[in-house]
Amino acid sequence: MTTWWRIIGVLALFASPAARAEVLETPHFRFVADEGARGAAERLARVAEDKRAYVLGFLGVHDDRRVEVRVASDEEAMSRMVGTSRPVREWVAGMAFPDRALIVLSARGNEVFHASDTFEHELAHLFLDAALRGRRVPRWFHEGVAMLVASEGVGERLKTALGAAATGSWLPIEDLADRFPADPPAVHLAYAQAMLFVRHLHRAAAPAGVSALITEVASGIPFDTAFEHVFGAPVGEVWERAASEMDRTGSLLWFLTSAAVLWVVITALFLYVYTRKRRRAALQREAWAIQEELARLEALRPSGVNPDEVQ
């Protein structure tokens, strides 16, 4: 084909010698999709180069590696593409392996994000690792920056975080340094918390705060030391300030958006409309009664009866 990307049908040994895969190539990507994920891979291939340019520009890093993106139609296929016999959890929509320049995606995404959102998120992980030159940073920071770079929609994450703010059930930030919880709903809260904390850091020291932290860590300064230098306080102290701000606004917002309150609002609207309709119906009945009386009086006129004399 003469377009900048081409589709080549090939045989791939993901599950068995008969398993078919499709390869889609762009200047910097090689997409490999199983039979059930071809459509998703084609859509991703069309936008891959633009997304790559955006993520690299956001992070201010140069990376010429060719990235392989494997797109799976189900969890079993994802396990094969990752190269593990262990099942991939159903809430996992994508994984990045920076040392292998490899991304593995679910064509279905998850309950929060579509495959295109996840692709940008995993690209951010891969290129962030390059920007950090492989230096260690807390898991919450890596995930939070990936969500910031990917400009992910915050609706579902915000809903989770507002519930935590309203109930005071934040996870200790130090517990999110090495790993996230294994199962929902705790894992969703961990992602929401990471997203909101990094967005808080980005606003608090915009526009260079997060970028400055990445630069210092990449130069060899330990993360905690670089963090305190950039943001003026240790991680725990800055998180407590951020959490307290979210607690003040989150409780009210969570209350106003909770299901119970929404039902109250819906019920109130229903009663308001119902009352108006009843009043309108009563007025209509009165109007009909008046019309009937006028018609009766009008009918008496030919008989010579004066309507004013009718009792």
pLDDT along the chain (311 residues), means of 10: 37 44 93 92 94 90 94 88 77 87 83 74 94 94 90 53 54 92 81 87 78 93 95 93 70 46 52 66 73 71 54 53
Q: Among residues 144, 100, 94, 141, which one has the least CA distance to residue 122?
A: 94
Pure H helices in the chain = 38-59, 75-82, 115-131, 139-149, 155-167, 186-204, 209-218, 223-231, 235-257, 259-300
**Residue 1 burial (CB count, 10 A):** 7
Contact 61, 127 (CB under 8 A): yes
CATH node for 1-131: 3.40.30.160
Pure H helices in 168-234 = 186-204, 209-218, 223-231
pTM, two decimal places: 0.69
**Residue 240 burial (CB count, 10 A):** 14
Taking phi over 0 as left and psi of -120 to 50 as alpha, with beta for the rest, 52 belongs to alpha
As a whole number of angstroms, the distance between CA 157 and CA 138 comes to: 20
Q: Among residues 267, 208, 58, 74, which one has the least CA distance to residue 146?
A: 58
